[in-house]
């Protein structure tokens, strides 16, 4: 197969949100993304994108990602085989160590290009679909209890059957927000909460005990990503299943969470792992 990358185009996109959204990671009124379009020498095309993590502690902003893409990664990929994802990832790592999020749209675009080239859906190229249908989950930000309840009802009326409620601030305020949402939607919606690393273990456990009677699906990333001992404490004493999210950045961190017995569920993000290929590799680890 004599196919090579001929052109790499990089675009910054800012999409205004209908309303401002706030979580423990920060406040935003628009979604900023970096988009990459890759064209091969035979005209084959692939597109990828990434929305860098919104957080005061984030190592890569969208501006950082665009700069790395435009100045370092894109020029270094001309002539590379876009269908050999293993070699592509090695090439990306050799050009720029780290900068995981900047590499995501390139890997995604090459996977897209390759799947199109073979004439198959991306899920087929990656090993096959596990589900024929998936459900979308509504998000409710750090709103007042009344605003959160109203937001939940709007999602419910639009047909959503589950919602994630953002927490991670004052535990009493967070408790009131969760309770207001549950009172508004009754048993018609499955609810979960996400702290985005916003608590220490002690406060996370306190909140979990306050709201565990409200029938929550799980408590996502209650403590900082590196505090696996704290994550395990919340799991043991909070009374709500715990999901690890930001704690999972690669194979080593996944194994560390498993060994620490720190989570009931694992969430794998494509951008956190560096693209489709590496995320699928972690998903395929035997349970």
pLDDT (tens digit per residue) in 209-253 = 999 999 999 999 999 999 999 999 999 999 999 999 999 988 999
142 in the same domain as 58: no
Q: Which domain holds residue 142?
A: 138-283
Choose among 104, 113, 103: nearest CA to 82.
113
Share of the chain above pLDDT 70, in %: 95
Residue 263 lies in a domain: yes
One domain, residues 272 and 199: yes
pLDDT band of residue 34 (cuts 50, 70, 90) is: very high
pLDDT number for residue 58:
52
Same-domain status, 197 and 239 = yes
Query: b/e string for 239-276 if b means 16 or more Cβ within 10 A?
Result: ebebbbbbbbeeeebbebbeeeebbeebbbebbbbbbb
Q: Are residues 183 and 100 in the same domain?
A: no
Using an 8 Å Cβ cutoff, are 234 and 204 in contact? yes
Whether 153 and 49 share a structural domain:
no
* CB 261, CB 99: distance < 8 Å: no
**pLDDT tens profile 99-146:** 888 999 999 999 999 999 999 999 999 999 888 898 899 999 999 999
List CB contacts of 168: < 8 A, sequence separation 6 or more. 23, 24, 142, 174, 194, 195, 196, 197, 198, 199
Residue 48 clears pLDDT 80, i.e. is over it:
yes
Neighbours of 30 (CB within 10 A): 12
CA distances for 202 relative to 190, 212, 266, angstroms? 26, 15, 22
CATH number at residue 278: 3.20.20.120
**Does the pLDDT at position 259 exceed 90?**
yes
Separation CA 114–CA 81 (nearest Å): 10
| pLDDT tier for residue 43 given thresholds of 50, 70 and 90 | very high
CATH of residue 39's domain is 3.30.390.10
> In this predicted structure, what is the pLDDT of residue 46?
97
**Can you tell me the distance from the alpha carbon of 226 to that of 194, in angstroms, rounded to the nearest whole number?**
17
Same domain assignment for residues 30 and 158: no
Q: How many domains does the chain have?
A: 2
Same domain, 255 and 231: yes
Q: Is 50 left (phi over 0), alpha (psi -120 to 50) or beta?
A: beta
Helical packing angle, 85-95 and 100-118, nearest 10°: 160
Strands annotated E in the chain: 5-23, 26-40, 45-50, 138-140, 162-166, 190-194, 216-220, 242-244, 265-266
């Amino acid at each position: 197969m004599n196919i090579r990358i001929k052109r790499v185009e990089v675009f910054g996109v800012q999409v205004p949100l209908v309303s401002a959204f706030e979580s423990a990671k920060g406040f935003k009124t628009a979604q900023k993304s970096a988009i990459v379009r890759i064209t091969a020498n035979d005209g084959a095309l692939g597109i990828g994108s990434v929305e860098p993590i919104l957080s005061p502690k984030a190592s890569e902003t969208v501006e950082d990602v665009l700069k790395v893409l435009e100045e370092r990664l894109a020029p270094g990929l001309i002539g590379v085989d876009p269908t050999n994802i293993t070699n592509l990832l090695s090439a990306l790592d050799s050009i720029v160590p780290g900068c995981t999020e900047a590499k995501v749209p390139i890997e995604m675009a090459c996977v897209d290009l390759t799947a199109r080239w073979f004439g198959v859906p991306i899920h087929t190229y990656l090993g096959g679909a596990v589900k024929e249908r998936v459900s979308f989950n509504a998000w409710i930000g750090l709103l007042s209890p009344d605003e959160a309840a109203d937001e939940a009802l709007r999602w419910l009326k639009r047909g959503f059957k589950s919602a994630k409620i953002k927490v991670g601030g004052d535990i009493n305020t967070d408790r009131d927000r969760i309770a207001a949402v549950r009172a508004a939607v009754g048993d018609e919606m499955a609810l979960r909460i996400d702290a985005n690393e916003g608590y220490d273990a002690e406060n996370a456990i306190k909140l979990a005990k306050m709201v565990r009677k409200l029938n929550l699906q799980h408590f996502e990333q209650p403590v900082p990503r590196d505090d696996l001992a704290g994550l395990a404490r919340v799991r043991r004493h909070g009374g709500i299943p715990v999901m690890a999210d930001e704690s999972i950045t690669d194979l080593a961190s996944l194994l560390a969470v498993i060994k620490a017995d720190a989570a009931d569920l694992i969430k794998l993000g494509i951008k956190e792992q560096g693209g489709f290929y590496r995320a699928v590799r972690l998903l395929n680890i035997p349970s």
